[in-house]
């Protein structure tokens, strides 16, 4: 089963994304803190990490860089209201999705990255 580790500062967003991704058949673990992501990445071994840019304790960008440095095969997608840079690789991510009430784009990106993991 594909494992997704998701970090978002908004509780209702975490709940909604967890429900939607579990309905897609993924095993999903959620948190609001980048430090927890860093701690859990080795024990949970996610295929894909979905990170909001603004987390409760540290930047999602910093969290993503640590994840990519620790687990090279784990895919990182940033999910935020912020616009990405032109060169996403400078953020250490594999993809970027703007937050939207429509979750279809996020689901497609997660599915594609899960297949590549």
Mean pLDDT of the chain: 91
9-44: burial string, b at 16+ Cβ within 10 Å, e else: beeebbeebbebbeeeebebbbbbbbbbbbebbeee
Structural domains of the chain sorted by starting position, each given as residue range(s) with its CATH number in brackets: 3-116 (3.40.50.2300)
> pLDDT tens digits, the chain, 117 residues: what are they?
999 999 999 999 999 999 999 999 999 999 999 999 999 999 999 999 999 988 989 988 899 999 999 898 999 999 988 776 666 666 778 999 999 889 999 999 999 999 987
pTM higher than the cut 0.95: no
The Cα–Cα gap between 61 and 58 comes to 8
pLDDT for 12-46, tens place per residue? 999 999 999 999 999 999 999 999 999 999 999 99
Residues 56 and 32: beta-carbon distance below 8 Å? yes
């Amino acid at each position: 089963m594909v494992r997704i580790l998701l970090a978002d500062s908004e509780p209702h967003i975490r709940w909604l994304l967890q429900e939607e991704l579990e309905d897609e058949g993924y095993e999903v673990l959620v948190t609001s803190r980048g430090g927890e992501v860093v701690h859990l990445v080795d024990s949970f071994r996610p295929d894909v990490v979905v990170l909001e840019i603004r987390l409760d304790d540290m930047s999602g960008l910093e969290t993503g860089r640590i994840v990519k440095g620790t687990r090279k095969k784990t895919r990182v997608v940033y999910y935020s209201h912020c616009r990405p840079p032109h060169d996403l690789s400078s953020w250490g991510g594999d993809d970027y999705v703007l937050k939207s009430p429509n979750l279809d784009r996020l689901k497609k990106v997660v599915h594609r990255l899960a297949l590549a993991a």
